[in-house]
Amino acid sequence: MPNAEPTASPPDAGAKTAAAVRRFGRFELRALLNKSTRSMLWLVLDTRSQQEMLICMPRLAPNSPEALAHWLKTANAGARIQHPNLAHVVEVGQVEHWPFIAYDRALGETLDERLARQNAPLPLDVAAWTCQYLEGLAFAHEAGHAHRDVQASTMLIDSLGHVRVLGLEVAQEVFPATVDFNTVTRRAVREAAQDDVLCVGLLMHRMLTARPVLDESDLLLVMQRMQPQGHELLRLGWETPHPIAEPLRAIVNRATDRQTGHRYHLARSFWRALEGWRSAANDQGGAIAQLMDKLQRVGHLPIASLRLQRIAQSSSMEGQHASELSGLVLQDMALSLEMLRRVNNALKQQGIAAGGGAILNMQRAIAMLGLNGVQQAARALKPWPGPLSETNAETLRSLMKRVQRAGQVAQALRPAGYDAEVVYLITVMQNLGRLLLQYHFPDDAQQIRQLMRPSEPTADNPKPVGMSEQSAAYAVLGCDLEALGTAVARYWSLGDELLYMMRRQSMEAPVRGGGSDAELLRLTCSLANEIVDALALPEEKRQAGVETATRRYARALGLGLREVYEALNPAAAVTAPATAHAEYPDHADHGAPVAARPQASPLRSRLRDKTESEDPVAQPPVEPSG
């Protein structure tokens, strides 16, 4: 600097005399608010306007006139970006060979200053501030700029809680004087943007724990100590000033995960998960509100069989017995759900829904709505595959087959005397959130599957483990999949009893038998879903997965491996008793029809044969109620 060390370094708190650091050009230096390895932030007085300003400058001056010109050009381009969450730039300038960016002090105090007054903000406040910061950062990233030095001092918070990003494009990369700056900068921005997002996660960790991360104030130094660059593993502890909700904990832990593939790569993705949790916590929307909007516009699921849709709208169904009609409806998951929605909504409008609970028997629903009701329901559905691409439609079809397979297994395992259609539909409803996610948010569904997949083993992590489905959903959506399905079921007026039975048994909680019918059916359907999930495991883990699930439920449901293998291989069970070493169906054959139990094999109509033989998309029938 002109008055200090003009050829070596900018003003520094370690200068020997006060006089040597009092001025920077026309600015009077008041206080050094932050110093990192890449930048510094000063509180100054502009002697020309007599206003307090904030000045950001790089820690190292550009190493050539060309580098200085490139710095000023990039900083001016960043200053032209206008967004409510980006701090407005007053001036981009230089004093001798030191460039700087000046901001109005009236924009607010830095996060460091706020934490000095309020060391442990509430988690909701932390989420609100971070969401605003991420919005500004995402806008800058999408405009082709990066921050490169996200620190607590770069978050400005005003008295109303409005947040702005400070210091965009101050800490630019230092390259040799001979390089082509345009080429290297474009490549560096993409990499720097991911580091920005990681540092925002570290910033959240700092606010929620009320202490510096790894006892370092400079987040760039923390990042270098984390895996895979370093050896530190960073996760939120349980001893925090305020309780942290499980979804928020999953979001922050994903942001700082040791596996780079599990982290947020885009500020927009990080913002979406965090905003989803905030909205859900405040009952203001989030992923659930987006889902409700999509339900209004495109429906819950597309009808999977076009021929079934045409038959349902024609006179071919006239004269069919109710059991035959219910079998046709249950062939298609979307039509089944639409019938449930319509019949239970009709009961609610009549004011009689609360007494007897939800209608879950398709024959009864058809009897109440009539043939016209079936035809209206079919006409209301979008044809397959709706707005999905071919790849996403195939994934949804595969998921539907897995859910149907679970329903058939649940039917085979149900206690004597319980309606097969009811058991099947409860099993489907336990998967409603997964089905809706795959149809309406296929990209998010793919991201959740990727987070659940273990990464490649490394020396530091020889046995990597993927996230649980719940944690992955929290990290992507801000809520779990069960919350999506429950919200829709409540919107459809399906009753509190079904809302309870829709809850799959937690994988972490022990299974205890209950005396109520609802609990017995819930556990039976949960077991069927766990068994089918086990069939999706690699072949060497498949048998152990089935046996583990069976042992969990054996005491509560009075079932053993024999009954489970008979449910998985009903045709083989007719001719030979099942053994503990019976073969399972291959994972690729999850959607294959399961033969009906011998004592309840239905008579097949010509209409049913027609829909199954002519339409490859149609679902195989389920066992009708006895």
Tell me: pLDDT of 600 over 50.
Answer: no
Res 51 pLDDT > 80: yes
Report the alpha-carbon distance of residue 37 to residue 54 in Å, rounded.
18
Give 176's pLDDT tier (boundaries 50, 70, 90): low
Q: Is the pLDDT of residue 601 over 90?
A: no
Class of domain 19-284: mainly alpha
Bridge partners for 39 per DSSP: 58
Please give the share of the chain, as a percent, with pLDDT higher than 90.
52
DSSP string over 500-546: HHTSPPPSSSPP---SSHHHHHHHHHHHHHHHHHHHTS-HHHHHHHH
Bridge partners (DSSP) listed for residue 46: 27, 51
In this predicted structure, what is the pLDDT of residue 284? 54
Predicted confidence at residue 566, as pLDDT, reads 92
Average pLDDT value for residue range 186-196: 81
* 164 DSSP β-pair partners: 156
- Give yes or no on whether 19-284 and 296-455+465-614 have one common fold: no
Mean pLDDT of 200-219: 94
* pTM across the whole model: 0.75
Instruction: Please name every residue paired with 98 in a beta bridge, in sequence order, or none if there are none.
Output: 95
| Residue 160 predicted with pLDDT over 60 | yes
Which band of pLDDT confidence, cut at 50, 70 and 90, is reported for residue 135? very high
Instruction: For residue 385, say if its preceding peptide bond is cis, omega within 30 degrees of 0.
Output: yes
Is 495 in contact with 344 (CB distance < 8 Å)? yes
Are 197 and 251 in contact, with CB atoms under 8 Å apart? Answer: no
Task: Give the pLDDT confidence score for residue 354 in this predicted structure.
Answer: 45
Which of 8-12, 236-240, 467-471, 479-483 has the least mean pLDDT? 8-12
Please state, rounded to an integer, the average pLDDT across all residues of the chain: 82
214 vs 459, more confident: 214
- Of 599, 405, 406, 426, residue with least CA distance to 517: 426
Q: What pLDDT shows up at residue 8?
A: 41
Residues for the chain: how many in total? 626
Q: Kindly indicate the confidence band of residue 612, based on its pLDDT and cuts at 50, 70 and 90.
A: very low
* Structure confidence at residue 1 (pLDDT): 45
Confidence band, pLDDT 50/70/90 cuts, at residue 18: very low
Query: Looking up tokens 């969401």, which residue turns up?
Result: 131
Query: Residue 396 has what pLDDT?
Result: 95
Phi, psi at 358, each rounded to 5°? -75, 150
CATH number of 296-455+465-614: 1.10.3210.10
Encode pLDDT of 503-553 as tens digits: 999 888 889 876 788 999 999 999 999 999 999 988 888 999 999 999 999
12-21, 169-178, 196-205, 497-506 — most confident range: 196-205
Please give the average per-residue pLDDT across 578-603, as a whole number.
35
Highest mean pLDDT among 214-218, 596-600, 601-605 belongs to 214-218
List pLDDT tens digits, range 60-113. Answer: 888 888 889 989 999 999 999 999 999 999 999 999 889 999 999 999 999 999
The pLDDT assigned to 449 comes to 92
Q: Which residues have C-beta within 8 Å of that of residue 508, sequence separation ≥ 6?
A: none
The predicted-structure confidence for 417-437, as pLDDT tens digits, reads as follows 899 999 999 999 999 999 999
Q: What is the mean pLDDT of residues 391-406?
A: 94
Q: Is residue 594 very low, low, confident or very high in pLDDT (cuts 50, 70, 90)?
A: very low
Give the C-alpha separation, 317 to 335, whole Å. 15
Question: Given a cut of 70, is residue 622 above it in pLDDT?
Answer: no
- When pLDDT is cut at 50, 70 and 90, the band that residue 266 belongs to is very high
143 vs 493: which has the higher pLDDT: 143
> What are the extents of the domains in the chain?
19-284, 296-455+465-614
pLDDT exceeds 70 at position 367: yes
User: Which has more pLDDT, 606 or 311?
Assistant: 311
pLDDT bin (cut points 50, 70, 90) of residue 589 is very low
